[in-house]
């Protein structure tokens, strides 16, 4: 997967916003520049991190009385349980958002969405498995060619996600 110069320009505001947020929160983090990659396993190899440290962010839409976007964050190798995600916020089920809607709401292409709800109206839910055995998490930072490695404590303090079991057990 390659990233064009225009894509990089379009994604820069999210990257800049994220770095500013982390700087303002006195977070312990580092930025890694690398070839553009959106797949969890491949980007973990590039970063030199374990796949379980990867914070995979998936924008979903919850079905119910008032459909609403929710950003589900889980370890890179894990699979999202859409029923559990829906139940975590009091709905029957959630579905993956259409890529065009995800890009519109997050300002990022699929695979580059960071595990932060930077847009108003997006709920943030993270699976506890991401934090149970990691001191740091790693994620694409609004761009496919930039990652951030961030202390778990700082992520929880700054992002303030709802923590709930949202992964599949298989």
Tell me whether strands 123-126 and 68-75 are parallel, antiparallel or unpaired.
parallel
Percentage of the chain surpassing pLDDT 70? 89
Prediction pTM value:
0.88
Q: Flag whether 169 is in a domain.
A: no
Please count the structural domains in the chain.
Answer: 1
The pLDDT value given to residue 37: 78
Residue ranges making up the domain that contains 112: 5-163
Q: Flag whether 16 is in a domain.
A: yes
Q: Please list, in sequence order, all residues whose beta carbon lies within 8 angstroms of the beta carbon of residue 50, skipping any fewer than 6 positions away.
A: 44, 134
Q: Flag whether 73 is in a domain.
A: yes
Q: Flag whether 118 is in a domain.
A: yes
The domain spanning residue 138 has which CATH number? Answer: 3.90.960.10
The pLDDT value given to residue 40: 79
pLDDT digits (tens, 9 = 90+) for 39-73: 778 888 989 999 999 999 999 998 765 668 999 99
């Amino acid at each position: 997967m390659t990233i064009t110069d225009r894509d990089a320009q379009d994604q820069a505001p999210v990257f800049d916003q994220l770095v500013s947020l982390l700087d303002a929160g006195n977070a312990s983090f580092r930025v890694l520049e690398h070839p553009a990659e959106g797949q969890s396993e491949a980007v973990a190899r590039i970063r030199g991190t374990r796949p379980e440290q990867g914070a995979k962010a998936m924008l979903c839409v919850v079905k119910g009385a008032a459909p609403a976007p929710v950003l589900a964050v889980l370890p890179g190798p894990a699979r999202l349980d859409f029923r559990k995600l829906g139940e975590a916020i009091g709905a029957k089920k959630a579905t993956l958002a259409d890529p065009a809607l995800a890009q519109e709401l997050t300002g990022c292409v699929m695979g580059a969405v960071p595990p932060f709800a930077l847009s108003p109206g997006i709920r943030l839910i993270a699976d506890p498995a991401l934090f149970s055995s990691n001191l740091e998490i790693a994620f694409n930072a609004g761009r496919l060619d930039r990652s951030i490695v961030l202390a778990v404590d700082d992520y929880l303090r700054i992002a303030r996600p709802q923590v709930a079991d949202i992964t599949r057990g298989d």
